[in-house]
Amino acid sequence: MKFSANLGFLWTDRPLPDAIRAAKSAGFDAVECHWPYDVLVDEMTAALRETGLPMLGLNTVRGNTASGENGLSALPGREQEARAAIDQAIAYAVAIGTPCVHVMAGFASGEEAKAVYQTNLAYACKAATSHDIKILIEPLNHYDAPGYFLTTTTQACEIIKAVGASNLKLMFDCYHVQLMEGDLTHRLPDLLPFIGHIQFAAVPDRGPPDHGELNYTHVFNVIAQMGWDIPLGAEYKPQGDTGKTLGWLKAMQRF
């Protein structure tokens, strides 16, 4: 089993290029991030080239974070900003060789929001196709992100079907799915045709995967049996020095 360090949570005490180098030293096979846009492309590509690690994914910007926004693509009346965020993310992904862009929905509800979201996703998929980039959508749990538009894998798959683009996929985050739906080891193989990336963290504290209510030894074994070969995203909150939370890594890489 291969693993990707999500640098939105891991090694946040250092600049992103140095976090990439730390992930390499720790034994990760890849990296991913949230919002890398303050880092010059040349600095990012230099770190990726130096380490040989691929950057698997990044997010569209959240919007006005001072007012608590968490994505733009499902917000009626904000289509121009949402598409500018999509364009920005795809351009950055192309520049550093990243194969996935997570288009964040934001806080919204109702049929109008759904229609806006689907239209913006269709725009993103069309823009990404020529670059061989996948567009990802991720259900977030309503404890951490109350009011977020996308909350379940069922809702996500309905939207993927409605948009009808072959490069629109589900970001299956085990942490969020467990809190909202449970039954991970059935949902994972059942949803395999829809899944573009898998992430994980302990439940319920979003810490490293060596404790909590999920047995990740079993979950990762199920994922391995599915034939999944993309590095799994370690998107957990270390609550301290990241290096001291990595005891799980070598044990889990044996799958």
Where are the domains positioned within the chain? 3-252
CATH class for the domain made up of 3-252: alpha beta
111-129 vs 79-96: helix crossing angle, rounded to 10: 30
- Mean residue pLDDT of the chain comes to 97
pLDDT digits (tens, 9 = 90+) for 120-138: 999 999 999 999 999 999 9
Q: Are 150 and 121 in contact (CB under 8 A)?
A: no
59-109 pLDDT per residue, tens: 999 999 999 999 999 999 999 999 999 999 999 999 999 999 999 999 999
pLDDT at 255 over 80: no
Residues 30-63: tens digit of each pLDDT: 999 999 999 999 999 999 999 999 999 999 999 9
Cβ atoms of 183 and 155 closer than 8 Å = no
Q: Is the model's pLDDT at 254 over the cut of 80?
A: no
Catalytic residues, by residue number, are: 138, 235
pLDDT at 28: 98
pTM for this model (two decimals): 0.97
Q: Helix axis angle, 16-26 relative to 41-51, nearest 10°?
A: 10
pLDDT, tens digit, 9 for 90 and up, residues 159-207:
999 999 999 999 999 999 999 999 999 999 999 999 999 999 999 999 9
114 Cβ contact list (under 8 Å, min separation 6):
74, 149, 159
